[in-house]
Amino acid sequence: MNENERIHKIIEELRSLPEPDYNKYFDMNKQNNIHENLMKVSRKYEAKQRSGSFMKRASTAVLGLAAFMLFAIVLMTINSQRSDEQIGYTFEDFFHEKMAEMPEQENNYAYTLIHTEMNAVQDGDAIAVYKEDRNEDGEVFFIAYFEKQGKRWVWKQSRGSKIDSPVNWTSMNQAPFIYFGLIRDHSIVEVYAGDTQAKIITVADGNRFWYAISPKQDVEVMLVKDDGSQEILDQFDPESLEN
Amino acid sequence: MISSKISQWFYQYNKDIYHFLLYYVGSGDIEDLVQEVFIRAIKGFDSFQAKSSPKTWLFSIARHVGLDELRRRKRARIKSIVPFVDDEPIGEATPEKVLQLNENNRILYQVIQSLKSNYRDVIILRAIKELSVLETAAVLNWNENKVRITYHRALKALEKHKEDLPNE
Q: What is the ipTM of this complex?
A: 0.86
* % of chain B beyond a pLDDT of 70: 88
Whether the predicted pLDDT of B104 surpasses 70: yes
Q: Is A3 on the interface with B (CB under 8 A)?
A: yes
Average pLDDT over residues A222-241: 74
For B2-77, the fitting CATH number among 3.20.20.70, 1.10.1740.10, 3.40.50.300, 3.30.70.3270 is 1.10.1740.10
**A27-41, A171-185, B150-164: the lowest-pLDDT one:** A171-185
Q: What is the pLDDT of residue A230?
A: 84
Strand locations in B75-130 (E) = none
Cross-chain residue pair A42–B99, CB shorter than 8 Å: no
Confidence of residue B42 (pLDDT cuts 50, 70, 90): very high
Q: Smallest Cβ distance to B42: which of A18, A35, A41?
A: A41
Please state the rounded mean pLDDT for residues A63-67.
89
Architecture of the domain spanning B89-164: Orthogonal Bundle (1.10)
pLDDT value of position A72: 87
Residues 28-47, chain A, touching B (beta carbon < 8 A): 30-31, 34-35, 37-39, 41-43, 45-46
**Interchain CB contact of A26 with B (< 8 Å):** yes
- Average pLDDT on B49-75 reads 90
Interface residue A12 vs chain B (CB under 8 A): no
A51, exposed or middle or buried, with CB in 10 Å at 0-12, 13-18, 19+?
Answer: exposed
Q: Tell if the CB–CB gap between A20 and B155 is shorter than 8 Å.
A: no
Interface membership of B2 toward A (CB under 8 Å): yes
User: Mean pLDDT highest for which of A163-177, A208-222, B35-49?
Assistant: B35-49
Residues 6+ apart with CB under 8 A from A11: B127, B155
Which of A34-48, A165-179, B153-167 tops mean pLDDT? A34-48
Q: Least CB-CB distance to B155: which of A10, A21, A38?
A: A10
Q: For A234, which DSSP code?
A: P
A242 φ, ψ (degrees, to nearest 5) = -105, 150
Indicate the pTM of the whole model: 0.54
N-term to C-term CA, chain A: 128
Q: What whole-number distance in Å separates Cα of residue B92 and Cα of residue B98?
A: 10
Q: Is the pLDDT of residue B16 over 90?
A: yes
Interchain proximity A19–B100, CB inside 8 Å: no
Average pLDDT, whole number, for chain A?
Answer: 82
Spans of all domains in chain B: 2-77, 89-164
d(CA B1, CA A47): 12
Q: What is the mean predicted confidence (pLDDT) over A42-58?
A: 82
B86 touches chain A (CB under 8 A): no
pLDDT single digits (tens) B128-138:
999 999 999 99
Q: Which of A199-213, B86-100, B105-119 has the lowest mean pLDDT?
A: B86-100
